[in-house]
Amino acid sequence: MSGLAVYLKEKGFNVSGSDIAESERTAFLKRKGIRVFEGHRRENILGAQIVVCNSAIKEDNPELCAAREAGLIIVGRAELLDLVSRDCENVVAIAGCHGKTTTTAMCAHVLENCAESLTAHIGGEDAEYGNMYIGGNRFFVTEACEYNGNFLKLRPDLAVVLNTDVDHMEYYKTEKNLLNAYLSFAENARACIVCADDRISSHCRADVTFGLSPQSDVSAEEIVGSGGRYSFRLRVSGEIFDRIRLNVYGKHNILNALAAAAVGVRYRFPIPMIKGGLENFKGIKRRFEKIGKYNGALFVADYAHHPGEIAAALRTARETAKGRLFVIFQPHTYSRTRLLFSEFVRVLEGVENLVIYRTYPAREFFDAAGSALTLSESLPNSLYVESVKELSLWLRRSVGGGDTVLVLGAGDIYCAAKLALKQLRSDL
């Protein structure tokens, strides 16, 4: 939402909005000249002609109710994203359960390096672009979020499907419904790029495939890892090109890079320019981001909140950690934890030094079956904590020189970990 607000402000619209509390993001919007209200109240929409809301907004939200009563135009975030994207000649939409943000940013760097005319709407904070980059109208690159079927409201020129892991089952109910949604997303586009290693590849028409499989149109050869970072030689339609060196951590980023490279290949850009764009990418905030040190221990934050993402983050941490590994995980929503409970237990049960932090509920109400406490009780190796104070106490007593503390989750655990670090430093 904040990226779209910035875009509309740059295009000359009078933009205002509200959030439940002040944050770094609301402060950023204010610096951009956008009026931001703290809290949701009816009077916040006075003077508005159009009201935009995301899928997390409840039907009884006071601003939404006031907009209906006033007969204002009400637009969903996904519909607005589709409208905004039409300002550009070519719309590239990136979908998948894992890697959307990183791949969208990688793709933005590739297309900017190749075409120098790009607008990018990114779900996280790219080190160079932020979450909204406005640099031309030849290409529009965006994440296509599958939550509540929102990605089906987009009509991209090029759809990219990274993977189709099980998630958001509170909405889709069955894996078949989820798979069908991805197939519909692909069919809504003029052309489609699909991961050949994913189960969707056998069901979906693909104009270009990517993956580690040698049968892929775009794949990686001679993969080399060093300290958690990887390089590889790009293979396109059987031809092998120069080595690409990624500047981000994690083997999983090879697939993300291949997807972004496939976009460049689809638009017939030279491989050296695609390579340059990928190597220009320096990372995303909260994607294996180093956030500080305490008592000689390195703190790294990652957005991982799905079992598959947690597994990838743990693999990367074990590659890079020199001493002991400590993990702090915050479950994101009760429904995801409940529906994927056994998968969460399986991926976390091998972690020796594990803290489970209270659930980030997002849009949901308490559900004991999917709570962080219930998850912790199923992991005898874990400690459950509910506050920054408890977290700080555990860290003070536990971590030391050479250790790595991996902070996992998509909720407020990022801020909690930073506050804990601040408290620990103030005690020194």
Which amino acids are annotated catalytic? 100-101, 143
Q: Are 408 and 304 within 8 A, CB to CB?
A: yes
Tokens (6 digits) for 271: 């491989």
Distance, in Å, from the CA atom of 137 to the CA atom of 187, rounded to the nearest integer, reads: 24
Upper half-sphere CA count for residue 320 (Cβ side, 13 Å): 24
> CB-based contacts of 144: which residues, under 8 Å, 6+ apart?
93, 94, 95, 100, 150, 151, 154, 156, 159, 185
> CB-based contacts of 361: which residues, under 8 Å, 6+ apart?
333, 334
3-state secondary structure string across the chain: CHHHHHHHHHCCCCCEEEECCCCHHHHHHHHCCCEEEECCCHHHHCCCCEEEECCCCCCCCHHHHHHHHCCCEEEEHHHHHHHHHCCCCEEEEEECCCCHHHHHHHHHHHHHHHHCCEEEEEEEEECCCEEEEEECCCEEEEECCCHHHHHHHCCCCEEEECCCCCCCHHHHCCHHHHHHHHHHHHHCCCEEEEECCCHHHHCCCCCEEECCCCCCCEEEEEEEEECCEEEEEEEECCEEEEEEEEEEECCCHHHHHHHHHHHHHHCCCCHHHHHHHHHHCCCECCCCEEEEEECCEEEEEECCCCHHHHHHHHHHHHHHCCCCEEEEECCECHHHHHHCHHHHHHHHCCCCEEEEECCECCCCCCCHHHCHHHHHHCCCCEEEECCHHHHHHHHHHHCCCCCEEEEECCCCHHHHHHHHHHHHHHCC
Structure-token match 């934890």, residue found: 337
Which residue, 168, 124, 129, 130, is CA-closest to 146? Answer: 168
